[in-house]
Chain A
Amino acid sequence: MVAGQGSPIVFVQGSGSFYKAMLVKTCDLLPLLLVVVTRKDEELTWTGFVEDTLVHHFEVGGMTDGAWSIMSNQKLSLETSGLR
């Protein structure tokens, strides 16, 4: 959670059950922005996300052949970090 003006920004990484558990815990802190990073083999049936993109690690400058789902309630434009 990032402190700042307005609603908090919440990043959630993990499975669907983990995400739902976190949502229950933070029900009184409606997040301005929510990002979920989960494995590509997760069953993604949640609603409320405008962004649901499968991102490969190498697309952002990484070295593995894995891919993860980036889900967000706001539009995100991911860029490579350029680091290796």
Chain B
Amino acid sequence: MILQPVNSSKQMTEERSLKRTKSMGTIEGVDLVPAGRKRLKVFTQDDLVLRDMLPCELMDAYDVKVTMQDALTEVSRVHSVPLSMVFVLEAPGKLFTSVGHAVLKGLLNPAAAKMEQMKTEEANLAPDEVHSPIFSVAAKALDTQVLDSATVEPIKKEVSLEPDVKAAMEDNAAVNFEVWDKRSVQNFDETAVSRGALKGCIVRRRVVSFSTPSKSFFFGVIDATSCEAF
């Protein structure tokens, strides 16, 4: 669009060019178009004539759509009114275009936007916060060299090295009552209940429950043969 600042085919000095730019409202080279200015002057390609910037050039600078340019020009011509230059007071089209692209990019590809957000959040976290809370507790304990029982025991409880028996059994597998019986008897604290009192409570039924002041027990299967052991 514009034009090397020359005068009589001679390149103007930078100082003189700047002076003329400010005094006459001209722009040159890669200068940007002053926002909100309705009238601007430019040099033509023959380097001799100074003229006003054409409205269509100004519309181009403000990213007014070609169809809208035609409409504005047509209204001005048909009604014999000056061309409305109100567009210089509005935001240029490229701003809206970029906003629209950003919105659609986020809405049409939410997974990518979510991933980008997670990356940003993770980058803002401290290194020890990225890992699980268990490791965070252990790391803090190691940092402070305080490995007392109060710190270690909760970690040992959460990080169990024993195999998970329940996970190894299928959901629909038959219940092994024998293991259940042995486990119930082994866990029974016989010191809490006297042998005589226990004998009095046992009846010849398949399922019996006991209650003691300290704890409650549920015996899966007890029959007469089991009672003989007491």
Contacts and interface: CB of A to CB of B under 8 A. Distances in A.
Nearest to B1: A63
A74 B102 CA distance: 10
Interface string A43-67: 0000000000001011011111111
B39 to A, nearest CB: 14
A61 to B, nearest CB: 5
Contact of B99 (A11, A57, A67, A75): A11
Contact of B94 (A61, A67, A70, A77): A61
A49 B89 CA distance: 24
Interface in A12-45: 13, 33, 35, 37
Contacts, number: 84
B98 interface: yes
B102 A76 contact: yes
Contacts of B105: 77
Given A33-B103, A68-B91, A81 B33 contact: no
B106 A58 contact: no
Contact of B95 (A9, A33, A57, A74): A57
Contacts of B92: 57, 62, 64, 66
B36 A81 contact: no
Interface residues of B, number: 26
Nearest to A65: B32
Given A62-B92, A68-B91, A80 B98 contact: yes
A76 B103 contact: yes
B91 A13 contact: yes
B116 to A, nearest CB: 8
Contact of A60 (B60, B98, B103): B98
A80 to B, nearest CB: 7
B185 interface: no
A64 B98 contact: no
17 contacts: A9-B107, A33-B103, A35-B99, A60-B95, A61-B94, A61-B98, A62-B94, A64-B61, A68-B95, A70-B95, A70-B99, A75-B117, A76-B102, A81-B94, A81-B97, A81-B98, A81-B101
Interface of B: 32-36, 60-63, 90-92, 94-103, 105-107, 117
